[in-house]
């Protein structure tokens, strides 16, 4: 007996380790689409084996007559009954060993899956928050494992009570037999794990609201549950030796069914969170390891604020939508900056020495950490910056931060062979610069911070950040979340005013400055950085032009035109800020754009119905109001908006469309950076191109046409860093982005963006 039990245990451990290895592989590989398909196949194959082993063993143990008699109405069991009637005795013993072994492995593996579900539902809010806590040592979901272990212990205790003091091994075997009688539990395992794999695949590669996750997967689980009920009801007398099941029987049914059904029930249990999952999913998948994803998951913005606010004092930050207090930020100065730079400089050699592979792993873990805290970050961002949770706003920004962080790990920056002709060999290598200073804006504080810090860290640099005085809390919270994963002092932040910014741009230990903001501020940084000959990446102000060609369909382009101009309530550097439309379709474009604009609700960001919010600060509100008033006074026609409510709460400026405006009006030639769009009438594309190129800025532009070749021809004549066709501002982490003329220099994103954060070194020999 002892050798047999030893073999059983060895086989069990090997099977479980194999399943765990598959799970870990699924979380770590680089190609999520390929991996999701592989994970689905692995889950189905493994669970099918569990089903086959357990069903066959039970059928052998019970004997053909008992199986047929107990399950006369369930055809699938007849197959196993047939095999059991013709199996030799040694095969019966082997089947029993395989039965115990495979079932134990199945329970452990399924236990792991359910723990992941408990964790995800606790983190997402569908179940109590304590379920999302993790072990400080292993980062495994403690409460999920505890809950599952409690269920298992309860089953064992109940069977111990009803076994009337029989041998413990008999009790254990009886427990396994009961749970898998005629393959009931094996089939539940097959169905549930298949549901889990299907949901995981489609939530990552399709949509969380697809027919798969809302209908098919729960239906599969439902079929499994129906089968379990039928088996238990039909076989109850054999299982427990009772004529009537009583209350105990129903309790036992629930103990088995509840954990077995939870994967299929996930779409229903998280029903109240469907809107949250639409943008940011908490569902564990091949890209999110719940074992590693969070050392601390904050339930809401207030919890996050408590972790970053000073105990006493500090500058108050107010909600631009309501005027209410959001939180307080510590007042830091040049001395604090010196300390931060010194710490980052000291940490840089070790960070660089980790190598690309380890830095990529840590950055992906940091992305997991943002996902674990996505809703709290989005809520804080909405309250501080003003942008709504919904639409292309707060949740969108946090999701974009995750995408850009992961994108920074997607490229390999290998040495480039310059010459290799047999006599001469030369290669270009990319080395870390040292410490990078990042100065961010208030319009997209989290996402643009990631644009700056992710490639910098990826290339072996350390980073010191200086957030905007208007939105420091959002960036402090983001850095706090990231630093729960990153090594100490690799990423530092100093929240201060102009003194800190000037000190950072001139600091002798800062190798490069990355800046996003106004052209005026950018010029000041260029001057202050000159003495130390810093490298610079400058994404400065834009006054992007959009050119509509005569063959465009006004109705078809209206909504994309709107979001190109009014994303983030117009507070975007690369937003469409002046629209040139030919006379022949001018009225039609104005009408279509006005209809779309009227339908877009504006209001406080925490109201889920709104997609447009307030201007972030009073200074920007005054700029927009002044420019619109100037346009109206000069005779321009107001199609929509332009009359803000007096003495209203918050910096809400109504969505405004201005037509019949002179091309030289200030609303056209100056960047309004708000929800006001001038629509300029032109004779043809040549006049539109001339006006588009007349200003000293050139961040982006767009051409709108049903003829792609014609649009490409016009795009080539526009002086801008990026020209989009039939869209505007649709940036992509794979595609380099940068300005022309006085809109800045240097490239961000993609492989070019990574190389811009490195020192090229030529090695010749």
| Coil, strand or helix at 541 | coil
Enter the tokens of residue 392: 């292309």
DSSP state of 264: H
Residue with token string 């447009």: 612
Helix, strand, coil % over all residues of the chain, rounded to 5: 55, 15, 30
Enter the tokens of residue 438: 């990042």
- Please state, in angstroms and rounded to a whole number, the distance separating the CA atoms of residues 480 and 457: 16
- Please state, in angstroms and rounded to a whole number, the distance separating the CA atoms of residues 95 and 258: 28
- Please state, in angstroms and rounded to a whole number, the distance separating the CA atoms of residues 516 and 337: 19
DSSP string covering 65-79:
HHHHHHTTT-TTHHH
Catalytic residue among 27, 375, 539, 748: 539
3-state secondary structure 54-65: HHHHHHHHHCHH
Angle (CA) 380 383 385, round 5°: 95
748 bridge partner residues: 737
Angle (CA) 283 49 28, round 5°: 35
Q: What is the dihedral of CA 282, 284, 285, 291, to 10 degrees?
A: 130
Q: Are strands 416-420 and 425-432 parallel, antiparallel or unpaired?
A: antiparallel
Say if CB 610 and CB 602 are below 8 A apart. yes
Say if CB 317 and CB 328 are below 8 A apart. yes
- Please state, in angstroms and rounded to a whole number, the distance separating the CA atoms of residues 544 and 739: 11
Say if CB 656 and CB 602 are below 8 A apart. no
- Please state, in angstroms and rounded to a whole number, the distance separating the CA atoms of residues 379 and 400: 15
Packing angle, helices 519-529 and 498-506, rounded to 10: 50
CB atoms within 10 A of CB 526: 17
Among 685, 639, 680, smallest CA distance to 662 is for 680
Classify residue 125 by burial, with Cβ atoms within 10 Å: 0-12, 13-18, 19+. middle
Say if CB 12 and CB 105 are below 8 A apart. yes
Q: Are strands 656-659 and 697-698 parallel, antiparallel or unpaired?
A: unpaired
Q: Does 423 qualify as catalytic in the annotation?
A: no
Q: Are strands 491-493 and 462-466 parallel, antiparallel or unpaired?
A: parallel
Catalytic residues: 539
């Amino acid at each position: 007996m002892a050798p047999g039990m030893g073999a059983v245990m060895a086989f069990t451990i090997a099977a479980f380790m194999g399943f765990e290895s598959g799970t870990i592989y699924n979380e770590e590989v680089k190609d999520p689409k390929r991996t999701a398909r592989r994970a689905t196949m692995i889950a189905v194959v493994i669970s099918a084996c569990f089903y086959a082993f357990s069903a066959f063993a039970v059928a052998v143990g019970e004997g053909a007559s008992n199986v047929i008699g107990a399950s006369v109405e369930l055809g699938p069991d007849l197959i196993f009954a047939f095999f059991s009637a013709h199996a030799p005795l040694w095969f019966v013993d082997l089947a029993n060993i395989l039965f115990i072994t495979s079932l134990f492995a199945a329970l452990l593996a399924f236990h792991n899956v359910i723990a992941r579900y408990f964790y995800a539902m606790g983190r997402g809010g569908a179940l109590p928050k304590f379920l999302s806590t993790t072990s400080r040592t292993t980062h495994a979901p403690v409460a999920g494992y505890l809950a599952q272990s409690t269920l298992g212990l309860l089953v064992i205790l109940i069977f111990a009570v009803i076994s009337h003091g029989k041998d413990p091994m008999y009790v254990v075997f009886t427990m396994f037999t009961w749970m898998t009688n005629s393959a009931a539990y094996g089939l539940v395992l097959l169905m549930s794990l298949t549901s889990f794999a299907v949901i995981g695949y489609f939530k990552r590669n399709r949509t969380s609201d697809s027919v798969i996750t809302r209908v098919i997967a729960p239906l599969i689980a439902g079929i499994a549950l129906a089968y379990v009920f039928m088996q238990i009801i039909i076989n109850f007398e054999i299982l427990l030796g009772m004529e009537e099941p009583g209350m105990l029987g129903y309790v036992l049914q629930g103990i088995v069914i509840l954990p077995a059904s939870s994967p299929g029930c996930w779409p229903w249990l998280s029903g109240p969170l469907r809107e949250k999952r639409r943008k940011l999913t908490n569902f564990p998948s091949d890209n999110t390891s719940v074992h590693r994803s969070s050392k601390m998951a904050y339930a809401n913005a207030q919890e996050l604020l408590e972790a970053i606010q000073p105990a006493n004092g500090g500058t108050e930050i107010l909600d631009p939508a309501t005027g209410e207090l959001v939180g307080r930020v510590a007042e830091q100065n040049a001395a604090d900056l010196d300390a931060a730079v010194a710490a980052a400089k000291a940490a840089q050699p070790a960070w660089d020495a980790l190598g690309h592979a380890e830095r990529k792993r840590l950055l992906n873990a940091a992305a997991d950490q943002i996902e674990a805290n996505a809703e709290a970050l989005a809520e804080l961002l909405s309250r501080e910056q003003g942008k709504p949770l919904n639409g292309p706003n707060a949740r969108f920004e946090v999701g974009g931060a995750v995408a850009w962080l992961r994108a920074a790990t997607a490229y390999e920056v290998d040495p480039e062979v310059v010459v290799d002709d047999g006599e001469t060999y030369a290669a270009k290598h990319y080395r870390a610069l040292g410490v990078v200073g990042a100065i961010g804006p208030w319009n997209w504080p989290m996402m643009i911070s990631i644009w700056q810090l992710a490639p910098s860290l990826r290339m072996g640099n350390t980073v010191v950040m200086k957030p905007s005085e208007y939105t420091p809390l959002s960036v402090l919270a983001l850095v706090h979340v990231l630093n729960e994963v990153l090594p100490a002092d690799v990423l530092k932040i100093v929240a201060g005013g102009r003194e800190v910014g000037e000190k950072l741009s001139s600091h002798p230990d800062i190798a490069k400055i990355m800046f996003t903001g106004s052209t005026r501020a950018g010029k000041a940084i260029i001057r202050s950085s000159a003495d130390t000959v810093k490298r610079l990446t400058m994404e400065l102000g834009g006054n992007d032009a959009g050119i509509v060609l005569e063959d465009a369909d006004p109705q078809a382009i209206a909504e994309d035109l709107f979001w190109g101009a009014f994303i983030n309530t117009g507070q975007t550097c690369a937003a469409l800020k002046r629209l040139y439309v030919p006379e022949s379709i001018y009225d039609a474009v104005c009408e279509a754009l006005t209809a779309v604009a009227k339908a877009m609700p504006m209001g406080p960001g925490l109201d889920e119905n709104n997609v447009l919010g307030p201007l972030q600060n009073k200074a920007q509100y005054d700029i927009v109001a002044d420019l619109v008033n100037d346009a109206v006074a000069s005779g321009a026609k107001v199609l929509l908006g332009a009359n803000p409510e007096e003495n209203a709460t918050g910096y809400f400026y109504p969505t405004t469309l201005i037509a019949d405006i002179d091309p030289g009006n200030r609303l056209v030639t100056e960047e309004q950076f708000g929800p006001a769009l001038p629509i300029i009438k032109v004779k043809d594309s040549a006049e539109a191109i001339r006006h588009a190129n007349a200003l000293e800025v050139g961040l982006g532009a767009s051409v709108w046409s049903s003829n792609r070749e014609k649009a490409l021809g016009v795009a080539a004549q526009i002086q801008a860093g990026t020209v989009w066709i039939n869209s505007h501002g649709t940036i992509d982490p794979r595609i380099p982005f940068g300005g022309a003329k006085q809109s800045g220099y240097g490239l961000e994103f993609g492989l070019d963006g990574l190389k811009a954060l490195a020192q090229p070194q030529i090695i010749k020999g």
